[in-house]
Amino acid sequence: MTTIGFVRHGITAWNKEGRAQGHSDIPLDEEGIAMAERIAERLSDEQWDIIYTSPLIRASKTAEIIAERKPGIDLVGDNRLREFCGGLIEGTTESERVGKWGFAWRNLDLGFEPDDEILSRGINFIEEVKKTHPGKRILVVSHGGFIGRLIGSLVPKGDLTWDLGNTSLTIIELRDKENLCRLFNCTEHLQ
Q: Could you tell me which residues are annotated as the binding site?
A: 8-15, 58
Q: Is 113 helix (H, G, I), strand (E, B) or coil?
A: coil
Which are the contacts of 71, defined by CB distance < 8 A and separation ≥ 6?
none
Catalytic residue positions, numbered: 9, 83
Backbone angles phi, psi at 102, to 5 degrees: 90, 175
CA distance linking residue 80 with residue 142, whole number of Å: 10
- Binding site members for substrate: 8-15, 58
Angle at 35 between CA 187 and CA 75, to 5 degrees: 95
Of 128, 140, 124, 156, nearest to 62 by C-alpha is: 140
CA distance 30 to 32: 5
Q: Which residues contact 45 (CB under 8 A, 6 or more apart)?
A: none
Could you give the C-alpha distances from 59 to 1, 13, 153, 167, in angstroms and in order? 26, 14, 21, 10
